[in-house]
Chains A and B, each alone.
Chain A
């Protein structure tokens, strides 16, 4: 784990503690993906010019990670992160784009971000803008019908500047048998590849590549709760926030994680 990924996880833990609510396992599996996008790939600024690259968080559970990184980049004052989930706060577990204009979509219900991202890629094509559109989905979210409607559409339209990243943290293994996502998305017309979702260099190589003839799909194999031993091992952390003592212990675990 890079030091920047470690620092982001610690900020997320503090947000969860302050907000008394979180989906920590689900956020932690996507930390390296967010790091690579915001540190190395996205052309993005607070003014949000029309030709920017857009990052669409379809998997809304990773919102705290997104907001933490936006604060680190100077879009949100850091102290505001500690107001998470407060009545009047702009910070929550599922972002609202009307409160944070540099957040591309309001998320929450699975299966919505990917269709909107495909529409953005089409919109950019119509307007002749160069911006790329990256969308982060979860493997559980890939059960939703709209995801496959969109896969059909994006493949059929050959939306080259659209990249679907699946945070494949094994959520659905306990539900239905999904088969091989790379194979499935390839069959829908995507240029798909599978990478280690906690290896930032591998993620960078896969996500930065533009499709040669169609949309891209990057299946990032991740571990729920990655970067903190208790979050990896203890399933009760799917939807829970740390107490004062737990926060101290979890922060130490993040520091100690190899």
Chain B
């Protein structure tokens, strides 16, 4: 996905003179030619995320579309007030691309994890939250949002799905239809979710735009009085949107998500997935237990 990001960003910078790229050191090496070619508007700015978001807002206010690239917790949380006040309050657009996802940097510890990004950013009105699961999905979502005048958060992952799905901004994709529950799969958890659902009589929706939340598709595809969320996010991150989408319909909620805990293990991402029950086996067990309760 990083390569797709680099290509999409490079194309944006080269084609549009009114764009700028601010790198927070990470990702500077693959962009070295761009840094050299456009020194005025492609900058490895230094390591100060809040100030960088503020500078990006100033660019946006002068008509230059900013793209900021950094590690998710340092954009989402260290700079949360800048996203809120410098972009949302000013009512201007910008693009924030992050790496790290929930715990892609598994060996680096809790400081580098961000399973709370979606729950945090969904409280910023107008903030777009994009969670592509493949390089092509990153490209499609980035190109749909880069100039739309709103702040857009692109959550990248280094653990892409093998399943290819054409996605559209703001729309969930229907991958399978069944009757006992609607399963919402998010980002890099799609492959494992599909495997877990192979024998289950459920509908599977794949969400790559989490804000604005596609309520229409969920309402239409809602089945079995139950929604099961399979997502690399802190548990419950989407429950409020789901409840709101169903607009008063009773719903049983469950999922295979990350428990709200300080994650103190290291190892590889796959080790955490297995331990937290977010691999295909774990998701299948949770889903089985969830369906059995009906």
Decide if B20 is an interface residue (CB 8 Å cutoff).
yes
CB contact list, B36-94 vs A, under 8 A: 40-41, 45-46, 48, 50-64, 66, 81-82, 85-86, 89-91
Decide if A98 is an interface residue (CB 8 Å cutoff).
yes
Are the CB atoms of B63 and A50 closer together than 8 Å?
Answer: yes
A 221-239 binary contact with B (CB < 8 Å = 1; else 0): 0000000000000000000
Of the 9-residue stretches A10-18, A68-76, A119-127, A193-201, which lies at the interface with chain B?
A119-127
Q: How many angstroms between the C-alpha atoms of A109 and B91 in the bound complex?
A: 16
Are the CB atoms of B45 and A153 closer together than 8 Å?
Answer: yes
Looking at B51, B66, B91, which has the most chain A CB atoms within 10 Å of its CB? B51
Known A97-B90, A98-B91, A109-B85; contact A150-B61, beta-carbon cutoff 8 A: no
Of the 9-residue stretches A80-88, A110-118, A178-186, A211-219, which lies at the interface with chain B?
A110-118
Residues of B within 8 A of A152 (CB): 46, 48
- Please give the number of chain A residues whose Cβ is less than 8 angstroms from any Cβ of chain B in the complex: 32
Are the CB atoms of A153 and B48 closer together than 8 Å?
Answer: yes
Residues of A within 8 A of B62 (CB): 50, 119-120, 123-124, 126-127, 129
Which residue of the partner chain A has the closest CB to B91? A98
Residues of A within 8 A of B64 (CB): 122-123, 126-127
Decide if A106 is an interface residue (CB 8 Å cutoff).
yes
Looking at A96, A97, A146, which has the most chain B CB atoms within 10 Å of its CB? A146
Are the CB atoms of B61 and A104 closer together than 8 Å?
Answer: yes
Known A122-B59, A123-B58; contact A109-B46, beta-carbon cutoff 8 A: no
Q: How far is the CB of B42 from chain A (nearest CB, A)?
A: 10
Are the CB atoms of A146 and B54 closer together than 8 Å?
Answer: yes
Known A120-B62, A122-B55; contact A106-B85, beta-carbon cutoff 8 A: yes
Q: How many angstroms between the C-alpha atoms of A53 and B118 in the bound complex?
A: 38
Decide if A105 is an interface residue (CB 8 Å cutoff).
yes
A 85-102 binary contact with B (CB < 8 Å = 1; else 0): 000000000001110000
Residues of A within 8 A of B90 (CB): 97-98, 105-106, 116
Which residue of the partner chain B has the closest CB to A151? B51
Residues of B within 8 A of A145 (CB): 50-51
CB contact list, B201-223 vs A, under 8 A: none
Residues of B within 8 A of A149 (CB): 46, 48, 50-52
Q: How far is the CB of A113 from chain B (nearest CB, A)?
A: 8
Residues of B within 8 A of A96 (CB): 89
Decide if B18 is an interface residue (CB 8 Å cutoff).
yes
Which residue of the partner chain A has the closest CB to B47? A149
Residues of B within 8 A of A127 (CB): 18, 62-64
Are the CB atoms of B54 and A115 closer together than 8 Å?
Answer: yes
Known A119-B61, A127-B62, A127-B64; contact A150-B55, beta-carbon cutoff 8 A: yes
Are the CB atoms of A116 and B48 closer together than 8 Å?
Answer: no
CB contact list, B176-214 vs A, under 8 A: none
Q: How many angstroms between the C-alpha atoms of A125 and B43 in the bound complex?
A: 14
Known A106-B85, A112-B85, A126-B20; contact A120-B91, beta-carbon cutoff 8 A: no
Known contacts A119-B58, A122-B20, A153-B51; 11 further A-B pairs (Cβ under 8 A): A115-B86, A116-B57, A118-B54, A119-B54, A123-B61, A123-B62, A126-B18, A126-B64, A146-B48, A153-B48, A156-B46
> B residues near A, CB below 8 A?
18, 20, 40-41, 45-46, 48, 50-64, 66, 81-82, 85-86, 89-91
5 residue pairs, one from A and one from B, having the closest CB atoms:
A119-B58, A115-B54, A123-B62, A149-B51, A119-B55
11 contacts between A and B (CB under 8 A): A106-B89, A109-B81, A109-B85, A112-B82, A112-B85, A116-B55, A116-B86, A119-B66, A123-B62, A127-B62, A149-B51
